[in-house]
């Protein structure tokens, strides 16, 4: 599978990548709405919007300081209601932004993974209070659960080890439409990566991988062999020693990579091929991250 730079737009510096494993062009299927994966730049944190037709799912919401970026992004897309909002785990850099997002848009159901019933923090308490205030129903997700989502298949994977760290208990999402798939690997680290790879094998296979733990965690060989991604998305900046090590590892594996902190990134598939577009931020703004 190859990635080809199709064009760069001056001023906004948007780069458009046409990426197809079997043909040179991306063609929308008339029979089914495309699957869109929007990686919103919230600095060194995660916020991913999944959309397919009228279905919407937000996965994590970054830190509170970047929440206005999410709200503006939703406004630009004309989204005033999310079918689902989800946390992969209750760390601040994944849930704080919901303090603003849940006030800006309606949410049908809030999704959270099991195994965190005993976890508490000020940010989580504030989120729970807001969910109650808004009357948003909560659904607890467990390993192997699926999320109804139009023509796309969304499957939840979690290392079911209650003694594991919070990051290693975080929930992965495997999202498939047709022959194409993306894996959002939350913040899982070495032990969880190896355990999931051993348990699931090729069920983790995906064209695109949202790198675990913002590109800070070692991308284990066993995890790579199970997923076999062609493209890795990193929610972090260059210069961090751990990130640089993982970039080198990706290059050793022969995996293309992109930094979400360079600008909002959108991957779209009709189930046969991917189109990937990123609007790059000015360098001076990027340096402030």
- Mean pLDDT to the nearest integer, 18-45: 68
Provide the pLDDT confidence category of residue 7 given band limits of 50, 70 and 90.
Answer: very low
* Span 264-273, pLDDT tens digits: 999 999 999 9
Of the chain, the percentage scoring pLDDT greater than 90 comes to: 85
CA distance 180 to 117: 34
Residue 7 lies in a domain: no
CATH code of the domain in which 205 resides: 3.60.15.10
Residue 109 lies in a domain: yes
pLDDT of residue 8: 31
On the question of pLDDT at 3 being above 60, the answer is no
On the question of pLDDT at 144 being above 90, the answer is yes
Three-state secondary structure of 8-27: EECCCCEEEEEECCCCCCCC
CA distance 206 to 35: 14
Provide the pLDDT confidence category of residue 190 given band limits of 50, 70 and 90.
Answer: very high
- Weakest mean pLDDT among 24-28, 86-90, 141-145: 24-28
Residue 83 lies in a domain: yes
- Mean pLDDT to the nearest integer, 168-172: 99
Backbone torsions φ then ψ of 280, nearest 5 degrees: -75, 140
Q: How far apart, in Å, are the Cα atoms of 140 and each of 87, 113, 145?
A: 10, 5, 10
- Mean pLDDT to the nearest integer, 137-160: 98
Provide the pLDDT confidence category of residue 286 given band limits of 50, 70 and 90.
Answer: low
CA distance 74 to 80: 7
Residue 84 lies in a domain: yes
* Span 198-208, pLDDT tens digits: 999 999 999 99
pTM (predicted TM-score): 0.89
Residue 283 lies in a domain: no
pLDDT of residue 32: 75
pLDDT of residue 281: 78
Residue 29 lies in a domain: no
Expressed as residue numbers, the domain containing 49 is 34-272
Of residues 217 and 289, which shows the higher confidence score?
A: 217
Residue 3 lies in a domain: no
CA distance 88 to 187: 8
CA distance 83 to 240: 36
Of the chain, the percentage scoring pLDDT greater than 70 comes to: 87
Average pLDDT, the chain: 90
3-state secondary structure of 129: helix
Provide the pLDDT confidence category of residue 27 given band limits of 50, 70 and 90.
Answer: very low
Tally of structural domains, the chain? 1
- Mean pLDDT to the nearest integer, 150-162: 97
CA distance 264 to 248: 23
Contact indicator for 59, 51 with CB cutoff of 8 Å: no
Q: Which two tokens stand for residue 176?
A: 């498939």
- Weakest mean pLDDT among 179-188, 251-260, 274-283: 274-283
- Mean pLDDT to the nearest integer, 17-32: 42
CA distance 218 to 274: 26
Residue 173 lies in a domain: yes
- Mean pLDDT to the nearest integer, 156-162: 98
Considering just the CA atoms, what is the radius of gyration of the chain in Å? 18
């Amino acid at each position: 599978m190859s990635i080809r730079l199709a064009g760069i737009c001056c001023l906004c510096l948007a780069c458009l990548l046409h990426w197809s494993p079997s043909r040179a062009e991306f063609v929308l299927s008339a029979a089914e709405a495309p699957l869109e994966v929007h990686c919103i730049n919230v600095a060194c944190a995660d916020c991913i919007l999944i959309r397919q037709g009228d279905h919407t799912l937000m996965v994590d919401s970054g830190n509170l300081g970047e929440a206005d970026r999410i709200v503006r992004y939703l406004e630009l897309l004309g989204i005033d209601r999310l079918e689902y909002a989800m946390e992969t785990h209750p760390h601040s850099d994944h849930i704080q932004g919901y303090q603003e997002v849940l006030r800006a848009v309606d949410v049908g159901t809030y999704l959270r993974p099991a195994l965190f019933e005993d976890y508490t923090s000020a940010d989580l308490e504030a989120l729970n209070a807001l969910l109650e205030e808004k009357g948003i129903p909560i659904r607890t997700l467990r390993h192997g659960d699926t999320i109804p989502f139009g023509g796309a298949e969304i499957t939840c994977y979690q290392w079911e080890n209650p003694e594991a760290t919070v990051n290693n208990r975080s929930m992965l999402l495997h999202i498939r439409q047709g022959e194409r798939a993306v894996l959002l690997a939350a913040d899982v680290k070495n032990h969880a990566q190896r355990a999931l790879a051993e348990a699931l094998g090729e069920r983790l296979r995906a064209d695109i991988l949202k790198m675990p733990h913002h590109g800070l965690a070692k991308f284990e060989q066993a995890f790579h062999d199970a997923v076999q991604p062609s493209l890795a998305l990193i929610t972090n900046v260059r210069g961090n020693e751990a990130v640089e090590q993982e970039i080198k590892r990706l290059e050793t594996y022969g995996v293309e990579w992109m930094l979400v902190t360079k600008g909002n990134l959108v991957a779209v598939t009709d189930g046969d091929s991917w189109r990937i577009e990123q609007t790059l931020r000015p360098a001076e703004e990027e340096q402030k991250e």
